[in-house]
C-alpha cells in the first residue's frame, strides 16, 4: 500500500522552479519527490545537530579566548 501524502502549496522563485523542472526531468523524479528529499535531508541535519548538543551538554565551557589560544598553540590557526 502506498504511503499517504499530504498536499501543500509551495511558491518558488521562477528561476528555482525552472531548475527544479530540469532536475526532475534529468532524474526521472517529480518536483514533489525532489523537494520531499531536500526537506528530509535538512531536518535530518537539524536532528543530528540537536543530538550532538544534547550529548555534549555536560562538557565544561571554554571561553573564546581560551579556545583561540589552544588553536594557536596547536598550529590550527
pLDDT digits over 13-69, tens only? 999 999 999 999 999 999 999 999 999 999 998 988 899 989 999 999 999 999 999
Q: Is the pLDDT of residue 1 over 80?
A: no
Q: Give the C-alpha separation, 44 to 62, whole Å.
A: 28
For the full predicted model, state whether its pTM sits above 0.85: no
Could you tell me the residue ranges of all domains in the chain?
15-57
Sign for the pseudo-dihedral over CA of 38, 44, 46, 49 = negative
Q: What is the pLDDT of residue 4?
A: 85
Amino acid at each position: 500500500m502506498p504511503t499517504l501524502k499530504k498536499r501543500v502549496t509551495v511558491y518558488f522563485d521562477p528561476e528555482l522552479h525552472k531548475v527544479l523542472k530540469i532536475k526532475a526531468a534529468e532524474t526521472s523524479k517529480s518536483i514533489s519527490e525532489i523537494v520531499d528529499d531536500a526537506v528530509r535531508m535538512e531536518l535530518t541535519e537539524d536532528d543530528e545537530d540537536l543530538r550532538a548538543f544534547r550529548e555534549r551538554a555536560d562538557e565544561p565551557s571554554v571561553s573564546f579566548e581560551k579556545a583561540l589560544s589552544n588553536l594557536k598553540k596547536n598550529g590550527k590557526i
